[in-house]
Amino acid sequence: MNGKSLSSELKEIITGAKRLYANYGKDLLSDLGFMKVLDDYEKAIEDTARAMTSLSIWKMCAICGNSPKGSCCAPEVAIWYDAELVFVNLLMGCDVEKGQFYKDHCFFLGKNGCILKARHYYCVHYLCPEIKAILSAAELDMLYRTIGREILTGSNVLHYFEQWRKHHDGVIVA
């Protein structure tokens, strides 16, 4: 980690996200095109949540998380995030600094699960071998399709922001 502690890297990421929010949040949230892609993303996140709940996956995660071995939300995952993805969480109304409930787990793991809505590819896509073993091929297929839509709509949001920002900053500079 280039000599930086996990907390200082995380602080940089969150500070960067808050800076993005201060600079762009208001304008972005009044851009209709952006609100459309953000809405698509939020719907896809809800679809994944429904699929996970219907297959009792989050219940199994909670049981595992409360066992001595703990959950798969490892501390280092928090710094796999970048400022842009944390910024998207701020746009969705998440209090990204509310985490750190479990000292030996990911900063974003709150008392009742992940406090983020826009999550990293790993967090959305990873299924442990125990969970995979109890799902049928059809259930896994349905789940991966749902997860795939979440990942795709999330990348649409980030892409839209990237393009919008170039235009926005260009307008400011001109």
- Closest to ligand SF4 by CB, 23 vs 100, is 100
- Closest to ligand SF4 by CB, 28 vs 73, is 73
CA 110, CA 38: separation in Å to the nearest integer? 24
Q: How far is the CB of 145 from ligand SF4 (least distance, A)?
A: 20
Q: Are 116 and 106 in contact (CB under 8 A)?
A: no
- Closest to ligand SF4 by CB, 34 vs 52, is 52
Q: How far is the CB of 173 from ligand SF4 (least distance, A)?
A: 35
- Closest to ligand SF4 by CB, 48 vs 153, is 48
Count of CB atoms within 10 A of residue 138's CB? 8
Distant-in-sequence, close-in-space partners of 98: CB < 8 Å, separation ≥ 6: 110, 115
* Three-class SS state of 55: coil
CA 157, CA 44: separation in Å to the nearest integer? 12
> Residue numbers of the site for ligand SF4 (CB under 6 A)?
73, 77-78, 106, 108-109, 114, 116, 119-120, 123
Q: How far is the CB of 135 from ligand SF4 (least distance, A)?
A: 19
